[in-house]
Copies of this chain bind each other. A is one copy, B any other.
Amino acid sequence: MFSAETYTERRRALAEKVDSGLILFLGNLEAPMNYASNTYPFRQDSNFLYFFGIDRPGLAATLDAGTGETIVYGDELTMDDIVWTGDLPTISEQAEAAGVFKTAPMVALESAVKGKSVHYTPPYRGKNIIWISELLSITPAAAKSGASMELIRGIISLRSYKSAEEVEQLDIAVRVTEAMHIRAMEVARPGLTEAQVHAAIQETVHSYDSHTSFLPIVSVRGEVLHNHSHSNLMNSGQLLLVDCGGESPMHYAGDMTRTFPVDTTFNDQQRDIYQVVLASQVTAVEMCRPGVAYRDVHLEAARVITYGLKELGLMKGDPEEAVEAGAHALFFPHGLGHAMGLDVHDMEDLGENYVGYDERYERSDQFGLAFLRLGKELEPGFTITVEPGVYFIPQLIDQWKAEGLHSRFIDFDALDAYRTFGGIRIEENLLITGDSSRLLGDGIPKTVEDIEELRG
């Protein structure tokens, strides 16, 4: 945990942003896998972590926006609990460490919220939807849609700007993530399965007593953007795309991608596309600084890809017009990146558009650009990912070709030689500083030469 002062100050700042009423924080409960007591690894709600730091299931808290009074609710362990789960600090001890000096048993929460104007964040787990519905005597549907815009905007205005101690956690998370990637690059060989590389990544992250910050992608079919299957055998001539991240001890997330040949060296086709993606990624990283709109960085990254693919004969026509029209999205159908912090897509529970867009930058509905989670101007303290990619998605190619979509900009015949290529993505994590940006973590091989040296 950070210091009690840190949490106290965060709550004071939040109370100031919410005019009046009672702010209700529901921590996460255990999440059942196949029956109630067989649970997934516990993950505390990130807003609860940010304002209270207590990493334990079954807690709630209230913050009176007017008076600032704060209460943590939870039930102390019984002797039966201690036999099964061991001794823990008491809830009052943990609350005090977060600067909260008033605690109450969970049964007291219902009367505490009764008749109050209650602010809560959008619940994303079924159990918490039911919890809110029962506390406030409303339907689950009303509980789900009844979150407070004032609270959402207040939290985003705080969590968007990472403090020095948060950046320290993010550096740790990215270093764990880098170790996972180095391990993957060390072990992947033709004849092994994706599962074996995934296993090595899991060993690395767990050896830090950490967890993955999201389900790892380890796939020779990198063109499937969120491919969580690891069942393929890795063959010579294929690329392996690895997108994974670990958490810091305080649950900040890392999120990096590397793509490398299953062989020790890239073949010509792989090297050509890799250089296009790398140029796009490097250009984008260089552009990131305060005052630059991330949508413009995304579009510039798309332009570099389009120029590159034109040079390789896969695209044609005017690259600027092609990007304007969205033709590049056949190859680069996702956004350039997103905010990261306590969540790998930071604060996505609060609403992607409130986190990544504002009155000046509105979300596009064009295929590709529509998936860009962050469009607004970058500011000091933002932490973000930069992750362009080029993919050859047979189903999408066939659909566009059949519809003649963007045929002015795409040479569909030339794509035949790439149908089993897969995809390439390169992803790093940045902190936006006062006048520029810096890489989080230490940096790991990214160029063709450095990757081939590590793989050799």
Residues of A at the B interface (CB closer than 8 Å) are 31-41, 43, 45-46, 79, 82-87, 124-130, 133-134, 140-141, 193, 195-196, 198-200, 202-209, 214-215, 221, 224-231, 333, 342-345, 348-349, 393, 395-396, 399
Shortest beta-carbon distance from A155 to chain B in Å: 13
Question: Which of chain B's residues have a CB closer than 8 A to the CB of A209?
Answer: 193, 195, 198, 230-231
Q: Among the listed B41, B45, B125, B229, which residue makes an inter-chain contact with A126, where contact means beta carbons less than 8 Å apart?
A: B125
State whether A86 and B227 are in contact (beta carbons under 8 Å apart), knowing that A126-B129, A140-B134, A348-B37 are contacts in the complex: yes
Bound: A134/B196 CA distance, A: 42
Question: Which of chain B's residues have a CB closer than 8 A to the CB of A226?
Answer: 84-85
Residue of B nearest to A87 (CB): B395
Question: Which of chain B's residues have a CB closer than 8 A to the CB of A204?
Answer: 199
Given A38-B214, A79-B395, A126-B130, 20 other A-B residues pairs in contact with their CB atoms under 8 A: A34-B124, A35-B46, A35-B124, A37-B348, A38-B348, A39-B215, A40-B40, A41-B215, A41-B228, A79-B396, A82-B393, A82-B396, A83-B393, A83-B396, A84-B225, A126-B128, A129-B130, A130-B140, A195-B209, A199-B205
Residue of B nearest to A194 (CB): B209
Docked-complex contact B195 and A38, CB < 8 angstroms: no
Shortest beta-carbon distance from A421 to chain B in Å: 15
Bound: A42/B61 CA distance, A: 30
Shortest beta-carbon distance from A225 to chain B in Å: 5
Bound: A208/B198 CA distance, A: 10
Residue of B nearest to A232 (CB): B209
Shortest beta-carbon distance from A202 to chain B in Å: 5
Docked-complex contact A206 and B215, CB < 8 angstroms: no
Bound: A125/B34 CA distance, A: 8
Docked-complex contact B32 and A125, CB < 8 angstroms: yes
Question: Which of chain B's residues have a CB closer than 8 A to the CB of A130?
Answer: 126, 129-130, 140
Docked-complex contact A36 and B349, CB < 8 angstroms: yes
Docked-complex contact A345 and B215, CB < 8 angstroms: no
Residue of B nearest to A192 (CB): B207
Q: Among the listed B35, B41, B344, B345, which residue makes an inter-chain contact with A348, where contact means beta carbons less than 8 Å apart?
A: B35
Docked-complex contact A224 and B125, CB < 8 angstroms: no
Question: Which of chain B's residues have a CB closer than 8 A to the CB of A79?
Answer: 395-396, 399
Shortest beta-carbon distance from A219 to chain B in Å: 9
Bound: A83/B343 CA distance, A: 23
State whether A124 and B206 are in contact (beta carbons under 8 Å apart), knowing that A225-B84, A226-B85 are contacts in the complex: no
Docked-complex contact A34 and B38, CB < 8 angstroms: no
Question: Which of chain B's residues have a CB closer than 8 A to the CB of A36?
Answer: 124, 348-349
Docked-complex contact B206 and A199, CB < 8 angstroms: yes
Interface pairs (26), CB distance under 8 Å? A31-B125, A33-B40, A33-B43, A33-B214, A34-B45, A34-B343, A35-B46, A35-B124, A35-B345, A35-B348, A36-B124, A38-B345, A39-B215, A41-B228, A83-B225, A83-B393, A86-B224, A125-B126, A134-B141, A140-B140, A193-B209, A195-B207, A198-B209, A199-B204, A202-B202, A203-B203
Question: Which of chain B's residues have a CB closer than 8 A to the CB of A207?
Answer: 193, 195-196, 199
Question: Which of chain B's residues have a CB closer than 8 A to the CB of A231?
Answer: 209
Residue of B nearest to A349 (CB): B35
Bound: A141/B345 CA distance, A: 33
Question: Which of chain B's residues have a CB closer than 8 A to the CB of A125?
Answer: 31-32, 126-127
Residue of B nearest to A210 (CB): B195
Bound: A399/B78 CA distance, A: 12
Residue of B nearest to A43 (CB): B33
> A-B pairs with the 7 shortest C-beta distances?
A126-B126, A126-B127, A86-B224, A199-B206, A203-B203, A195-B209, A199-B207
